[in-house]
């Protein structure tokens, strides 16, 4: 290794180490609290003297006032996230296919409107959304949150899928049409298989957006048995004497599914499935 390579590597490390620390420190903190007893958590040690899984037991057994509905709330989070992911994906795929491949009239306008929604921060829309859901009589129903999250996630999802669709060679559609495919067959047999990587990426995006949402969940849901775990976590802070170690433990558990999803679908995020379709 020559000198130039060494200095280049040193520079990378110089940037990389602070970034890694910056990212990992909160997670380390989370983990530290989760495996410490209440007394040790605040002792200011880098590693507890007696690491314990006791906190996990408390959380999983719902053995605390704040955790009475832990499993129910986790299930709420899951159901809502899956519903948002699936419905957003359906809407965005249908829109992208219609606009990008079938070239329906008004497609351009739709795309511009979708972009326009991002001029207004989602937080500004929270109260109007609350009123709208009230008008529809959906308050205190999980559908309120599901519909709200779909509204927030769809425009971006449509954009991403439209861009990805545009990259598929149009000759494939023409070849399929000549081969005798109806638009629905084209969608099912040619479009969907080729869009799989983008679909997985966009579905994951919508799912995680809903999973991590706090503000809308807090506003639109109120019964303890209806809220998502993210909202329940917030309620830990309501007490003067918050059980921090349990809060962190629950937080760690809540962070695991997204991590797992990311890991499982990693290979789809970068993929060259269209290789060989046309001259490259």
Question: Applying CB under 8 A, which residues contact other proteins?
Answer: 169, 171-172, 174-181, 185, 189-190, 193-194, 273-279
Q: How far is the CB of 45 from other proteins (least distance, A)?
A: 55
CA–CA distance, 203 with 245 (Å, rounded to integer): 33
CB nearer to other proteins: pick between 121 and 180: 180
Helices within the chain (DSSP H only)? 3-34, 38-41, 54-60, 70-96, 107-116, 126-135, 142-167, 170-179, 183-185, 192-212, 215-220, 229-235, 244-264, 266-269
Token couple for 181: 């495919």
Contacts of 18 (CB under 8 A, 6+ apart): none
CB nearer to other proteins: pick between 161 and 246: 161
Contacts of 100 (CB under 8 A, 6+ apart): 107, 161, 162, 165, 166
Q: How far is the CB of 184 from other proteins (least distance, A)?
A: 11
Q: How far is the CB of 71 from other proteins (least distance, A)?
A: 40
Q: How far is the CB of 175 from other proteins (least distance, A)?
A: 4
CB nearer to other proteins: pick between 84 and 176: 176
Rounded to the nearest angstrom, the gap between the alpha carbon of residue 257 and the centroid of all alpha carbons in its chain is: 10
* Maximum Cα interatomic distance, the chain, rounded to a whole number of Å: 73
CB nearer to other proteins: pick between 183 and 251: 183
CB nearer to other proteins: pick between 152 and 194: 194
Helices within 117-225 (DSSP H only)? 126-135, 142-167, 170-179, 183-185, 192-212, 215-220
Q: How far is the CB of 269 from other proteins (least distance, A)?
A: 18
CA–CA distance, 69 with 189 (Å, rounded to integer): 44
Q: How far is the CB of 273 from other proteins (least distance, A)?
A: 6
CB nearer to other proteins: pick between 90 and 170: 170
Q: How far is the CB of 280 from other proteins (least distance, A)?
A: 9
CB nearer to other proteins: pick between 170 and 262: 170
């Amino acid at each position: 290794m020559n000198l130039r390579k060494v200095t280049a590597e040193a520079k990378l490390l110089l940037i990389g180490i602070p970034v890694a620390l910056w990212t990992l420190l909160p997670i380390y903190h989370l983990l530290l609290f989760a495996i410490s007893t209440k007394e040790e958590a605040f002792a200011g040690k880098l590693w507890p003297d007696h690491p314990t899984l006791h906190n996990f037991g408390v959380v999983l057994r719902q053995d605390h006032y704040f955790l009475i509905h832990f499993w129910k709330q986790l299930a709420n989070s899951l159901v809502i996230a899956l519903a948002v992911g699936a419905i957003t994906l359906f809407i965005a795929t249908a829109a992208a296919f219609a606009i990008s491949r079938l070239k329906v009239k008004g497609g351009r306008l739709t795309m511009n409107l979708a972009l326009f929604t991002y001029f207004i921060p989602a937080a500004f829309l929270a109260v109007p959304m609350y009123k709208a859901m009230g008008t529809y009589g959906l308050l205190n129903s999980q559908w309120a949150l599901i519909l709200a999250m779909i509204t927030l996630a769809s425009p971006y999802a449509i954009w991403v899928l439209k861009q990805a669709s545009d990259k598929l060679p149009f000759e494939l559609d023409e070849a399929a049409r000549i081969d005798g495919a109806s638009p629905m067959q084209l969608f099912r047999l040619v479009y969907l298989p080729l869009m799989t990587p983008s679909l997985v990426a966009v579905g994951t995006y919508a799912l995680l957006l809903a999973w991590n949402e706090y503000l809308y969940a807090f506003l639109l849901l109120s019964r303890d048995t209806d809220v998502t775990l993210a909202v329940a976590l917030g309620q830990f802070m309501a007490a003067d004497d918050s059980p921090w170690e349990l809060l962190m433990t629950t937080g760690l558990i809540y962070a695991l599914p997204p991590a797992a999803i990311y890991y499982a679908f990693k290979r789809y995020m970068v993929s060259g499935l269209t290789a060989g379709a046309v001259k490259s």
